[in-house]
Amino acid sequence: MSQGNNLLTVILGTAVGVGVGMLFAPDKGSTTRKKIAENANNAKDTLLSEAEKIQANIASKTSDIRDNVADSLATGKGTLDSQLDTIVKNASYKADDIISSLEVRLKELKAKNKTLQTK
């Protein structure tokens, strides 16, 4: 086939398609355009409604996550406070042990110093 025949075939096919479309079209063009506009508005409203639902869902999930993090931090703070108290108590016992040890050593040094001063 030549290009001329291809072009003629395309034009003829288009004309037949338009003619068949006009024969089987259920409504006038203005009515069809009105239906298309209504369907587009309905689709827009549906999308907006779904977007609002998704936004509410995200806000709810975000709030839940925020609450979980706050609870975890509060629990962690309680655990940290407890660990800190334990460390302070242990340090206090260690300090008492050191002081006792130093007092014994000081007593020994005083006794040794007393013997040195008498000589």
Least confident of 2-6, 56-60, 92-96: 2-6
Domain tally for the chain? 1
Taking only Cα atoms into account, the Rg of the chain, rounded to an integer number of angstroms, comes to 46
Give the residue carrying structure tokens 């355009």: 33
Helices and strands in the chain, H and E counts: 2, 0
pLDDT tens sequence across 8-60: 787 778 877 777 776 676 777 788 778 777 878 888 888 878 888 888 888 88
Range of the domain at 30: 3-118
Q: What percent of the chain has pLDDT over 90?
A: 0
